[in-house]
Amino acid sequence: MIEIQDHGKVREIRLARPPVNALGPELVGALRAALADARRDQCEGVVLSGRPGMFSAGLDLKALLVLQRDSMGRFWREFFSLLRDTASHPVPVVAAITGHSPAGGAVLSLFCDRRVAAAGDFKFGLNEVQVGLVVPKPIQHAVVRLIGAHRAEQLLVRGALLNPDDALAVGLVDEVTAPDKVVESSVAWLAQMAALPRTAMLETRKLLRAPLVDLFEQFTQSDFEEMLEHWFLQETQQSLHGVLARLAGRSAD
């Protein structure tokens, strides 16, 4: 499900759920536990990575589309808790985007301190609208925080997927490097952060990231119920089942 590798005092948490690191209940729970372990072990930085060519293909539709409302509600709460855990982690977290990262994979990276993407023919972005989903408010605001309101609107309403260089140009990622250097570059940046006066760096970081963490405090029960309603709309379910059928067809080829 995940693999752990320590680079000195930097902890790499590698998504290892073949074939595409799809984010279902088990992987989300494992990531939350691994982030908690890194906090407990007083790591100086955390890298979230995937396998070569694939960071995460997003939500595990096969697992999620069979869930009833209560179970789906529990998953969404757990997923939002993972995003909040990432945003509020006491030390910097870097997303080492080792390949494709649409939808949920891109969402997870938004709440990291830095995003380092592998160069190549990979797709990155929030394509939720293309598959029939409404982008929840905390995720919308996280995109706006990175790239500004107008640019966020242009990308989110279209559900655009970008190549790494275009993602860099609009500010969705901070660096593009050779695929075999993504983790190395992420670890090096964290080492630079760790070399700064520690209290000053961590407290300044905490203050600046507080609005990102607060997005989840501002997400009301009414907002949550509305998100669930959108998930179970007939139009949404038809669209998502269509996506799942197309993916199954590709796997069979």
Q: If you average pLDDT over residues 183-189, what whole number do you get? A: 98
| CB neighbour list of residue 181: distance below 8 Å, 6 or more residues apart | none
% of the chain residues with pLDDT over 90: 97
**How would you class 183 by CB atoms within 10 Å of its CB: exposed for 0-12, middle for 13-18, buried for 19 or more?**
buried
Q: How would residue 248 be classed by pLDDT, with cut points 50, 70 and 90?
A: confident
Based on C-alpha coordinates, what's the Rg of the chain? 17
What is the model's pLDDT at position 247?
A: 80
pTM here is 0.96
Q: How would residue 46 be classed by pLDDT, with cut points 50, 70 and 90?
A: very high
What is the model's pLDDT at position 251?
A: 61
Q: If you average pLDDT over residues 220-240, what whole number do you get? A: 95
Give the residue ranges of DSSP H helices in the chain. 25-40, 61-64, 69-87, 104-110, 137-147, 149-158, 164-170, 182-194, 198-217, 221-231, 234-252
pLDDT digits (tens, 9 = 90+) for 6-20: 999 999 999 999 999
pLDDT for residue 97 is more than 90: yes
Q: How would residue 45 be classed by pLDDT, with cut points 50, 70 and 90?
A: very high
* Cα distance between residue 25 and residue 176, in whole Å: 30
pLDDT for residue 253 is more than 60: no
- Indicate the DSSP class of residue 127: -
pLDDT digits (tens, 9 = 90+) for 72-94: 999 999 999 999 999 999 999 99
What is the model's pLDDT at position 189?
A: 98
* Cα distance between residue 73 and residue 68, in whole Å: 9
